[in-house]
């Protein structure tokens, strides 16, 4: 619609849009929800996800049961994550009771503090017993009981995705199986002996995974457990 101005213009002003009109056309502002990160101020919920691992170290009279409870943060969102919250160790053995309780409380406190807790694995696994370590089932060497507890925590952190899993590919597993079969055939060893170890009896220690699974074939040392090879 055209409006004709017949009088002289002596002044002007800019008319602002009505608040109601502006509100109708303005897009709603979404609240910026920041993902919740693990911190010591988070209260313990009534329900936690837990996993229990059993170990039977030769330095203890009875088996030990390690339970790690996880808290679920940012549930049902794109930022959902499972974080370790606390750890408990139960056993009939009383010779290690005092320091085991102290260790679980310190580890639980580190879990609840938040941040990168994966450093615990390296710290615990580097503890050596002055009386010497031991081989657990499967031929894996453990320098101490504390180191085996660290290995359990490492296994759990891999299971919930905080550490990358170093599981071998199917191709590598097939190659190692072929190498093992060829080695055992060359040594004329019976493979149906129930008392036989998981790896050949004359296998040596692997410097990478601490497992007695290194064999030498065609002048090349290869670990049947982790696949580490001196020949690349």
DSSP string, 100-134: HHHHHHHHHHHHHH-S--THHHHHHHT---TT--E
Q: Estimate to the nearest angstrom the gap between the alpha carbon of 189 and the chain centroid.
A: 38
How far apart are the C-alpha atoms of 182 and 60, rounded to whole Å? Answer: 38
**Helix (H) and strand (E) counts in the chain:** 5, 8
In DSSP terms, 134 is beta-bridged to 142
DSSP 229: B
How far apart are the C-alpha atoms of 71 and 66, rounded to whole Å? Answer: 17
| pLDDT over 80 (residue 112) | yes
What per-residue confidence (pLDDT) applies to 128? Answer: 93
Record the pTM. 0.65
What per-residue confidence (pLDDT) applies to 1? Answer: 61
What per-residue confidence (pLDDT) applies to 195? Answer: 41
Enter the tokens of residue 56: 């039977």
Q: Estimate to the nearest angstrom the gap between the alpha carbon of 171 and the chain centroid.
A: 24
| pLDDT over 70 (residue 144) | yes
| pLDDT over 50 (residue 232) | yes
CA distances from residue 112 to 6, 38, 64, 83, 138 in whole angstroms, order as listed: 78, 7, 23, 9, 33
Q: Between 164 and 183, where is the model more confident?
A: 164
What per-residue confidence (pLDDT) applies to 104? Answer: 96
Q: Give the tens place of pLDDT for each residue, 127-137.
A: 999 988 888 88
How far apart are the C-alpha atoms of 189 and 104, rounded to whole Å? Answer: 44
How far apart are the C-alpha atoms of 65 and 97, rounded to whole Å? Answer: 13
| pLDDT over 60 (residue 4) | yes
CA angle 191, 195, 201 (to 5 degrees): 65
DSSP 231: T
């Amino acid at each position: 619609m055209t409006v004709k101005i017949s009088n002289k213009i002596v002044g002007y002003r800019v008319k602002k849009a009505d608040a109601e009109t502006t509100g109708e056309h303005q897009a709603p502002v979404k609240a910026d929800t920041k993902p919740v990160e693990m911190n010591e101020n988070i209260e313990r919920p009534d329900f936690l996800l837990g996993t229990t691992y059993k170990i039977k170290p030769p330095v203890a009279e009875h088996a030990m049961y390690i339970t790690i409870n996880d808290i679920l943060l940012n549930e049902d969102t794109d930022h959902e994550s499972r974080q370790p919250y606390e750890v408990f160790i139960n056993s009939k053995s009383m010779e290690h009771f005092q320091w085991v309780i102290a260790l679980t409380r310190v580890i639980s406190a580190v879990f609840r503090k938040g941040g990168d807790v994966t450093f615990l694995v390296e710290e615990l696994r580097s503890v050596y017993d002055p009386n010497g370590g031991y081989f657990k089932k499967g031929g894996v060497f453990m320098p101490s009981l504390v180191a085996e507890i660290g290995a359990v925590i490492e296994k759990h952190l891999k299971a919930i995705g905080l550490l990358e899993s170093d599981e071998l590919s199917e191709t590598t597993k097939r190659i190692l199986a072929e190498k093992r079969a060829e080695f055992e055939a060359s040594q004329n060893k019976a493979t149906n002996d129930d008392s036989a170890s998981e790896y050949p009896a004359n296998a040596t220690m692997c410097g990478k995974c601490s497992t007695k699974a290194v064999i030498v074939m065609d002048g090349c040392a290869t670990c049947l457990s982790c696949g580490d090879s001196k020949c690349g």
